[in-house]
Structure 1
């Protein structure tokens, strides 16, 4: 229901929009945890950080979790969860938005060494529904990271050696049972309307989405209350 409300709300909101539109990702190392800490993780700190990074912009954001199968953040515990943000941002130039994200890059680290914690992609209105559904999806992929290797030439001897470059590559595969349990356990009792957040003109858009998505639940709750009163 929330996905339907999100698509319908965005369709009405961006129907005649022709300005700049961006898809932003913010994934910082400090919002990662071992797999056994996902259920207790406070996602509000992720939202607060993103609000600070996107202050003054119009945006609709969502907190998501990614499972990394070959990273360990706690002794003896294999696997890590990275809570991160995807956001639709509009009404601002790529240059100005890049400057704001560069400030995040300067003070934050990614879970992967040598990789920026933020990313921005230009977006068209036609591609907006697909990106919204991507933001709302449940975890379905396992990510694994590997150090990249390259050839190095000794300037004195001319000897060629192979070693790590300091860069990493990220591969993904279908989420297997263990990772599926870990990732989805981190989302138990978390609801899409609360994982979502917004700023600027996005606040009114999110309010409309929440209102439409929760309308059937509110109607059901009211009918239950009327039934209880009638049985007294």
Structure 2
């Protein structure tokens, strides 16, 4: 009902542009719309946090990128890769492939093992989404975490000295598998990034402009189309 475009929230995702290459974290049901709206014409890799549908259901829409570029590299926990192979078997098929199906190059992400995508250094951060393991990712002094409920002390150490942290803040009421607003603010106070943006926001958190007034000076709500330069 809001007239503020910042309240028009699609499913959570982020695009990182580094040295001319595009890297997207998660491709939910809105992936196609997000790529078109932001005029993304090439995709160098796709990283997954976990297997839930709001983070993976748009995988088939890598098709236009595949037609232009060939196999699209994807990075995920082995459990997530196994789930994707069940849901999108035709994408991973190596024999008798449907001619129009996209294809991927598969790379397993393992906790405590950083990796490089071209010249981009990626450090996985292990968090818990209720009882489900989820990967966040750190790139230099920027970190992206979503669907966090708890995080071990050793994983928090991977998040020190951040310029920008993006983390979920679902609503004010407690939730069994997501940070609510109070928990997210407490996490920010503990990690102490220079600046924080909250994402994975439900309608129950309220309108962007109203919530923004209640947040600390260095904490903001993210919104669709937000661009940060680091």
TM-score range (shorter-chain normalised) is under 0.3
**Which has a greater percent of helix?**
1
When the two structures are superposed, what TM-score results if normalisation uses the length of structure 2?
0.24
